[in-house]
Amino acid sequence: MSTHSPAQLPDLPAFFTAHYYETITSTNDVAKDKARAGAPAGNLIVAGEQRAGRGRTGREWTSKPGNLYMSLLLRPPGHAGEVAQISFLAAQALSDAILQIAPNLEPQHKWPNDVLIGGAKISGILLESAARAGGGVEWLVLGMGVNVAHHPQDAGQSTTSLHTLGIRKSTPHSLLAALAPRLLHWLDVWQQQGFAPLRMAWLQRAQKLNEQIRVRVGGEEFVATFRDLDGNGNLIVELPDGSMRSIAAGEIFLPHN
C-alpha cells in the first residue's frame, strides 16, 4: 500500500477526511479497518487502483487506474433495514454528479442501486456494515466504483464509462469533486427528512417504471411489471394475475441484457 497523497484529491466539504492510496487491496477493506479502529464518519478512502476490488455476491471488481474507487465510512442511526436505503442515496448522488459533469447524459436508476446510461452499467455500489449489539449498525462502509476511463466487459450486463460516452475530460478527481457534495446533500436530507424525498427523486430516474422486467429472488425467476418503490426501498411489482408483490432483496434484469 503506498503512502497518502492528499494532492491527488480535490477539495472536499469539511465532513470528509480523505485518504488517497495509489494502489490498495480494496478501499472497502481499508475503510472497514478504520471503522473497527473507531474512526469517525466521514473518513473517505480513495484509490488509484485496487488489487482485490470486490463486487456484490463476492464477484471481482476490475480496478485498473483511470476509474474512481472510493469507500466512505458512515455511522448512521437506525436499524439495518433503514440503513440499506443508503444504497439508493449513493445512486441518486452519483446520477446527480454525472448530470453536473455531463448535462447531456441521461443517467437512470436500476433497482436496487445500479446507475445505467443508455442501458449500460457505469458504476457499482457495495455496502458493508457491522451490527450493533441491541440493534442498529455500528458502522457502514459505502463502497463505490465508477467507470470513468474504461469499463470491464461483464458477461451478464452491458457496461459503459464516461469516456466511452464522450465525456473525455472527466477524471476520477473531477467526478469525486462533483460526487462528494451530492453525497453530503442526500445524507443530510435522509437524516433530517427520512427516505420519502430520496424515494421521490430516485423514482424520477428509475428505468422501466411501469414496464416489464424479469425478477430473480433466490432461485425463483419471473416476469412482472415494475410499479413502485415502497417507503422502505422494497421493489413493488405487479404479477401477471394482477396481484402486487414486494421484493426486499433480489436482482432485476432488463429485456436487452
> What residue ranges bind ligand BTN (CB under 6 A)?
26-28, 50, 53-56, 59, 61, 69-71, 124-126, 143-145
The residues near 133 (Cβ < 8 Å, ≥ 6 apart) are none
Among residues 57 and 192, whose Cβ is nearest to ligand BTN? 57
Least gap, CB of 239 to ligand BTN (angstroms): 27
Least gap, CB of 47 to ligand BTN (angstroms): 8
Least gap, CB of 235 to ligand BTN (angstroms): 17
Least gap, CB of 72 to ligand BTN (angstroms): 10
Least gap, CB of 201 to ligand BTN (angstroms): 21
In the 3-class helix/strand/coil scheme, how is 179-203 assigned residue by residue?
Answer: HHHHHHHHHHHHHHHCCHHHHHHHH
Among residues 76 and 152, whose Cβ is nearest to ligand BTN? 152
Return the number of other C-beta atoms located less than 10 Å from residue 137's C-beta.
21
Among residues 189 and 217, whose Cβ is nearest to ligand BTN? 217
Start-end of H helices in 102-166: none
Cα-flanking dihedrals φ and ψ of residue 215, to 5°? -120, 135
User: The C-alpha cell of 252 is what?
Assistant: 432485476
Among residues 26 and 161, whose Cβ is nearest to ligand BTN? 26
Among residues 64 and 79, whose Cβ is nearest to ligand BTN? 64
The helix/strand/coil state of 257 is coil
- Quick one: CA torsion of 84, 188, 206, 122, rounded to 10 degrees? -80
